[in-house]
Amino acid sequence: MSAGERVPVGGNPEFADLDHAWGDGTRCVHAGQHAAVPGEPLVAGPVLSTQYHLSPGGEGGETDVYGRAGNPTWRALEQAIGELDGGRCVVFPSGMAAITTLLRVLLRPGDRLVLPSDGYFAVREWARTELSGVSVREAPTAGPWTEDVFDGAVLVLLETPSNPGLDVCDIRELARRANAAGAMVAVDNTTATPLGQRPLELGADVVIASDTKALSGHSDVLLGHVTVRDADLADALRRARTLSGAIPGPFETWLALRGLGTLDLRLARQAENARAVAEALHDHPAVRGLRWPGWESDPAHAVAARQMRRFGGVLGFELPDADAVRRFLERSRLVGAATSFGGLHTTADRRARWGDPVPEGFLRLSVGCEDTADLVADIRAALDGISWP
């Protein structure tokens, strides 16, 4: 299936001539569902079995034979995400499992990998310690992307918007340049989600995401996925998943599928809240370095506006120091101190505590689905009395 090929919503051929006009909300609610069968459940539950009936004669042909190799609930979520991403999806038990499996499948000793120097720190750490014989080159998301960055590269990984700094790069342009140099391009789309950005349509070869974040959206699931345009690569990823045992649990997969149905609604509220919070933080005496790609004065806004359909609910900003962060979080009634992002609840994470190369007072704020006025008032009150020296 090519990036531009449309899959009928819910896999139902009856809808093939209709779904081109359907919006994100409809596609999220119906993605991954099958045609209605009278007497069958409207919403299928998780398939928990590890064993399946085999043909007595051993002639084969069964869709599923053993729980490590396949599961109907995996396939339902893969179909749903694949419809939204525009490719062939393979799900994994976490975002890190997804990206490390991709790297193991694509890279061999002597190959060169390009990583974002300001992206998720665990990916850089894993590449340095586990990718034996692979040369790793790092480049900042915002560039400059000089020609030598792509020299000899087999794979270029982009993360846009980056985590935690929220810088943005031009996917279409970098994919063109990387492909011309002989490299594949993978985009970590965790922050944007398939509704916010469709990297395959912009020329990327692979999309990766931690579905622990906004896609599942309820802070109760660890999950990840890889979506690709190439059928052979999808098969290779599934084979690697089966052999390594890096498989998702069917119940967690079902929770993610259930959460996906409200993705459009959640993202809309989070983006509304993010804009309101950005307006409240702009020019506040306690705040410096506010970043949100949807903010018109953000350095990344021009590029983000060309390739992103939504700007999401994650902001970054700096308070004077770690103690100011502590006081802010202690005084807030709605902002919880937690890592990860994309959930229903507004949370803040002081990223320096995890070793990210950011100032001690830098906060990644994941805006939730609270009432906008309540959230803005709470954040303003929590910041009262905090200012830069």
Q: Cβ contacts of residue 12 below 8 Å, gap of 6+?
A: 33, 34, 35
Measure the CA dihedral 51/52/57/63, to 10°: -130
Per the residue annotation, which of 19, 66, 68, 112 is the catalytic one? 68
Between CA 300 and CA 92, with CA 274 as vertex, the angle to 5 degrees is 80
How many whole angstroms from its chain centre is CA 266? Answer: 15
The candidate with the shortest Cα–Cα distance to 80, out of 7, 1, 189, is: 7
The token pair at 36 is 């209605």
Residue 68 appears among annotated catalytic residues: yes
Per the residue annotation, which of 111, 118, 120, 298 is the catalytic one? 120
Alpha-carbon gap, residue 87 to 248, rounded angstroms: 20
- Helical segments of the chain, H only: 24-30, 72-85, 95-106, 121-130, 171-180, 193-196, 231-244, 250-260, 263-281, 301-307, 322-331, 372-383
Per the residue annotation, which of 188, 205, 211, 349 is the catalytic one? 188
DSSP letter string, 96-157? HHHHHHHHHHH--TT-EEEEETTS-HHHHHHHHHH-TT-EEEEE-TT----GGGGTTEEEEE
Q: Cβ contacts of residue 51 below 8 Å, gap of 6+?
A: 66, 67
Alpha-carbon gap, residue 252 to 248, rounded angstroms: 7
Helix, strand, coil share of the chain (percent; to 5): 40, 15, 45
Per the residue annotation, which of 75, 213, 238, 364 is the catalytic one? 213
Residue 120 appears among annotated catalytic residues: yes
Residue 188 appears among annotated catalytic residues: yes
Task: Give me the amino acid identity at 229.
Answer: R
Query: What H or E segment, with its residue span, contains residue 227?
Result: strand 224-228
Please return the burial class of 343, using the count of CB atoms within 10 Å of its CB with bins 0-12, 13-18 and 19+: buried
**Could you give the residue numbers annotated as active site?**
68, 120, 188, 213
